[in-house]
Amino acid sequence: MKEKLFATVILAVIMFYVLPGLAAAETDIPKLTTTKPPFTEGIFPCSSCHASMPPNKEKRVLAFHPDIQLKHGGNWCLDCHDSANRDMLHLANGDLIPFDKVYQMCGQCHGNIYRDWKTGIHGKRTGYWNGDKTYYLCVNCHNPHSPKFKPIKPLPVPAKPLEIMKVKSTVPVVIEEKKLYIPEYDKANDKANEKANEKDKSSHK
């Protein structure tokens, strides 16, 4: 009798205190929205070309997409793209997902990165810290066919405030298709100043 009464009390506590809190927690979860996938202009929807082509599942060098270089863990096109519906991706279990849900597919192999992405540690997101946010997709930063970042050429160290006045000219440098102008300093003037400073110090000894 006492055991039934105790169980009833516990159930009542759960119903009146715990369950409403869980329901509130569900409604308090910020809305997750993402940016649009960066499709190449004129390439999507894929079905505009592939609808009239029978699927060819043989791994081969692509004739129509020669610019695509697959360097992604030995994966093949149809490991991610669905052969029956070219406007969709598919998960390992066969479920179809749209391209703006690509993070679900990436998370199958990169679970730790997916976890960090959802919490805002990895990648980029905009919005409110306690409200709605817009998440940048994996493919907004990584090329899905070759996701490893290319080495970035290091830039010269920042100039000291006094050195800014000694700029002799600028040298154009192209980095990632962007032209930057690197300052070139008057080294001869620096050496002359160093000698003058040394001479001045010796005259005060």
pLDDT per residue over 7-45, tens digit each?
Answer: 565 555 445 444 444 444 344 444 568 888 888 777 888
Confidence of residue 136 (pLDDT cuts 50, 70, 90): very high
Per-residue pLDDT tens for 142-189? 988 888 888 877 877 776 666 666 666 777 777 767 777 777 766 655
Question: What are the residue boundaries of the structural domains of the chain, listed by start?
Answer: 1-29, 31-141, 161-203
- Stronger pLDDT, 135 or 163, i.e. the higher one: 135
In order, the DSSP letters of 118-172 are HHTSSS-EEE-TTS-EEEPPHHHHS-TTS-SPPPPPPPPPPPPGGGGGGEEEEEE
Confidence of residue 103 (pLDDT cuts 50, 70, 90): very high
Q: pTM of the entire structure?
A: 0.58
Strands 32-34 and 133-135: parallel
Residue 195's alpha-carbon distances to 39, 107, 152, 155, 165, in angstroms, are: 60, 62, 38, 29, 19
**pLDDT of res. 34:** 86
